[in-house]
Amino acid sequence: MRKTSFEDLCYHLSSGCSTDLSALLPEGIQQEVGHFNVFDLTDIMQEAREKTTISCASRAFYKISFLTGRSLAEYPDRAVEISRPTLIFTTPKSPYYWSPMGRQTGQFCVFTAEFFHPAMSGVILDELPIFKSPEHPVYALSDSDIERVQGIFDNMKAEISSNYAYKYDLLRAYTLELIHLGQKLQSTVMLHPNHSASARTTSLFLELLERQFPLESPQQKVALRTAKQYADHLAVHINHLNKVLKDTTGLTTTELIAGRILQEARALLRLTDWSIAEIADSLGFSDFAHFAKFFKNETSLSPGAFRSQAKSLNYT
């Protein structure tokens, strides 16, 4: 099987003026801005219809490909068959051969590290999990993700042809959206390589707990209130969650939830004019009496007394 390079393909697309990918970049991009472009795979395949295998090593370019036909991604250690719409991430250090099987559709974008200079993007590409993972970042997409990715590439194609002065800032944002989607598709273990399973579970629980707050109006309710609700949301058994949290924090699931509820109750009593009944309802208590009992057990003060004390301190 004859293998031809991706740069040969670029030579044809750039009318033979250069075999370097920079020939494909839009005119007028300043060096400090960096390099970016987006392509339709249908156009590429028309140029390369006589080629059976394409090398996707692209010098100093990173690449995100959205492939929707059957094909094979061949890495030095294994081959990955692509049978449904898939997102592939590659770096200048990760060459692979791509073997299309039949009609191909999709899009891909290429960009340099300079395009994501930390001063403009706040990120360092090689430090992102998607680009330093030892696994091959080839991810089959769900139906909802397919629609989302197609929309992002459509936005890229439209924006790169626009006259908007800040279009490259938008293109960076679109590219980052693809990167973050890819990182969501990575396994939890790959995203937290230095953390134990218990530490990951604790981190996920605490993040989920914090996402319930702050409460901004009396109409807003705490969505998750019990240990079982958190365990179900995290897809773990409640006994396992309790053991993990006790081992890592010294507190049970219920104690951690209660502590965060108390923290929010204190803030609402100090900083809002909501009635105590409204605060109790928003925090998931069945009635005022249950909230008052909980609050007094934790603070030795009734909610009303705490509010009065807080107000008096504010005036002194």
**The pLDDT of residue 54 is above 60:** no
Q: What is the percentage of the chain residues whose pLDDT exceeds 90?
A: 52
Q: Which of 2-11, 28-37, 200-209 has the lowest mean pLDDT?
A: 2-11
C-beta neighbour count of 223 within 10 angstroms: 11
CATH number at residue 206: 1.10.10.60
Q: Using omega within 30 degrees of 0 as the cis cutoff, is the peptide bond preceding 193 cis? A: no
Same domain, 37 and 177: yes
Same domain, 222 and 168: no
312 burial (CB, 10 Å; 0-12 / 13-18 / 19+) is: exposed
Q: Which of 212, 229, 215 is nearest to 267 (CA)?
A: 215
Q: How many domains does the chain have?
A: 2
Same domain, 150 and 260: no
Show Cβ contacts of residue 305 under 8 Å, excluding neighbours closer than 6 positions. none
Q: Are 128 and 65 in contact (CB under 8 A)?
A: no
Which of 168, 191, 214 is where one domain is finished? 191
Same domain, 171 and 256: no
Estimate to the nearest angstrom the gap between the alpha carbon of 309 and the chain centroid: 44
**What's the pLDDT tens digit per position in 233-285?**
998 999 999 999 999 999 999 999 999 999 999 999 999 999 999 999 999 99
Same domain, 203 and 68: no
Compute the average pLDDT of residues 92-109.
Answer: 83
CATH number at residue 29: 2.60.120.280
Alpha-carbon distance values, 184 to 12, 137, 188 (Å): 36, 11, 8
54 burial (CB, 10 Å; 0-12 / 13-18 / 19+) is: buried
Which of 191, 220, 238 is where one domain is finished? 191
Q: Considering only residues 122 and 304, tell me which one the structure prediction assigns the higher pLDDT.
A: 304
Query: Tokens 């134990």 sit at which residue?
Result: 196
Same domain, 67 and 203: no
pLDDT of residue 99: 84
**What's the pLDDT tens digit per position in 124-160?**
888 898 988 777 899 999 999 999 999 999 999 999 9
**The pLDDT of residue 47 is above 80:** no
pLDDT of residue 4: 42
Q: Considering only residues 68 and 28, tell me which one the structure prediction assigns the higher pLDDT.
A: 68
**The pLDDT of residue 206 is above 90:** yes
Q: Which two tokens stand for residue 73?
A: 């991604």
In this prediction, residue 185 has a pLDDT band, given cuts at 50, 70 and 90, of: confident
In this prediction, residue 313 has a pLDDT band, given cuts at 50, 70 and 90, of: confident
Same domain, 300 and 254: yes
**The pLDDT of residue 312 is above 60:** yes
Same domain, 103 and 143: yes
Same domain, 162 and 307: no
What is the span of the domain harbouring residue 30?
3-191
Compute the average pLDDT of residues 51-56.
Answer: 49
The residue type at 100: P
Q: Are 58 and 110 in contact (CB under 8 A)?
A: yes
Q: What is the percentage of the chain residues whose pLDDT exceeds 70?
A: 80
**The pLDDT of residue 192 is above 50:** yes
Helix axes 303-315, 253-271, angle to 10 degrees: 50
In this prediction, residue 49 has a pLDDT band, given cuts at 50, 70 and 90, of: low
Same domain, 184 and 49: yes
Same domain, 174 and 201: no
pLDDT of residue 105: 87
**The pLDDT of residue 195 is above 60:** no
Same domain, 125 and 235: no
Which of 191, 218, 238 is where one domain is finished? 191
pLDDT of residue 218: 95
* DSSP assignments along 23-39, one per residue: GGSPTT--TTT--EEEE
Average pLDDT, the chain: 83
**The pLDDT of residue 163 is above 70:** yes
